[in-house]
Structure 1
Amino acid sequence: MLILNTRVVSGCTKTLVRSLNHSSRAMAKSKFEYVRQFETDDTCLRNCYIVVRLDGRNFHKFSEKHNFAKPNDNRALGLMTRSAQSVMEELEDVVIAYGQSDEFSFVFKRTSTWFKRRASKLMTHVASQFSSSYVFYWKEYFAEQPLLYPPGFDGRVVLYPSNRNLRDYLSWRQADCHVNNLYNTSFWTLIQKGGLTTIQAEERLKGTLAADKNEILFSDFDINYNNEPTLLRKGTTLIWEKRDEAVTKMVKLPNEEEQKEVTVTRGRKRVCPHHCDIIGDQFWEEHPDILERDDC
């Protein structure tokens, strides 16, 4: 009966299909479907930047078990960055990401409608993509070190209504990177080069300011902290950039019988890392397309 009816006028056919679909949906409902009413509305407020921040869960233990170098392990930092790139490649509405140590923040553009702006969907997708990428790319960075157990990352969602709020958030994370790295550099230098125990190193640094730590590094160990790699002092900022790339193609040229190899240059958007200051204005002036206008 249904097959015969599909041959009638198209308007009638569509009406029949819609009617059948509606009937099917009605039949699919059950008395248990009321439980959907318990779901909470976690739609993020419109016209706000959505920031999803991930932190490694119990990474102090994880780093010890996997023999991370102290105070910084470039393999671990590289793996974090590669995992964050994977998130941005999967979710193109992430316009900028910032990471340091065992954390990464992902900023969705203000007008994003991914997952209908549901916080739980955004957070779980970012966390799952990041975690699976961390495991997937592990061997590329830790060839000699087997992964002993799965890493864990917790996440949170925060909304920022203005460009200034967002920039202040990212500035806060970069300032935190500086504070933590200066302390860790001083702490492990006192242990590895100064011969102190962990307790003695803690006592030596107790109550010290940034200037005091810089003085300890310079006077006792001839280390100028400002000469440390910017990756460690500034963290990693990921943004989308258009880069030219050369591609070789087989092309049949006019008046030619056979195809020839031709190199073609084309622009392609890629996720690119930067290790620079994002607290000042220079970075934002050089990349004005990251932020949207506040009056949008």
Structure 2
Amino acid sequence: MRIILALATTHDRYLAQISSTGTQDSILAQTESRHRAHAASLLNEKLSLPILPQDRDALWAAAAMLGISVITSIQASVPECWPLKITPAEPETIFLQWMDFSINKKAIWDATDPLRPESIFHELADDYRRFMAPPKTCRVDEIAKEFVDLCGFEDCATESNPYFKAVSILTQIRNLGNGHRSRPETLCASGVVPRDLRFIGFMEPEFKALLIERDVRALLILAYWYAPLSQCVWWMAGRAQTECQAICLYLERNCGDGLVVELLNVVREKCGLVAGIRDSILTDAVDSKWLEM
């Protein structure tokens, strides 16, 4: 019940952002956070005990809905958003905590086994198997040349390259194969979102560590994943657009590499960062002293 209330309030907040005032948005955000925290606490309590057969489906449904709620939990404006925001009191890892829940859901999946014959989710077994299966590894010649050059895939063994698995997954879900322009597809329907979330679910610790360090190449790869999602289902679009724009502005300020700039121009267009909006956000960011000097 708590997670359903959290999601309902999340949707109310989404509608309020479109048609109402910031005050109402703030009140709804507080209510949403309270319900989400309570739901997470109850879920953890249940998972700490032996799981009863009759509770398996409810626990998996709660975990799935909580995952959506965590994704929508971003409330910062672009200048206040990671990786632009610099606050010594908060570790950089806090801004990527939402990714951890997507990764950790695998443990709940294993504990509840939604593919078992008596599960209400069994009819979705084929879809689940497809989305939960480890993604195949692309060959270097299947990856767009821009990303091969950017990440140095031809200069070292791909198995030891921390960018390779992320780019391999991105190539498959964004149609960025060699012979295609390195341009993320623009169509994003609700049916492909589980496919997109595989990028997070199968993210390797080495790549996430690069994101925490605000590594230029890792940030650009993440921006390419985010870009089409900024025009996607309501619960994904807010975070995708806000963090994608923040990444673009951060890279513009901190990286002058020609290939990065070229690839970044494609992403800026997809996440709605047109020139006028860009200049306004940059001015606000400088005034707020969020940008790294």
TM-score for the superposition, normalised by structure 2: 0.23
Larger radius of gyration: 1
Q: Which has the higher helix share?
A: 2
Q: Higher strand fraction: Structure 1 or Structure 2?
A: 1
**TM-score after normalising by structure 1:** 0.23
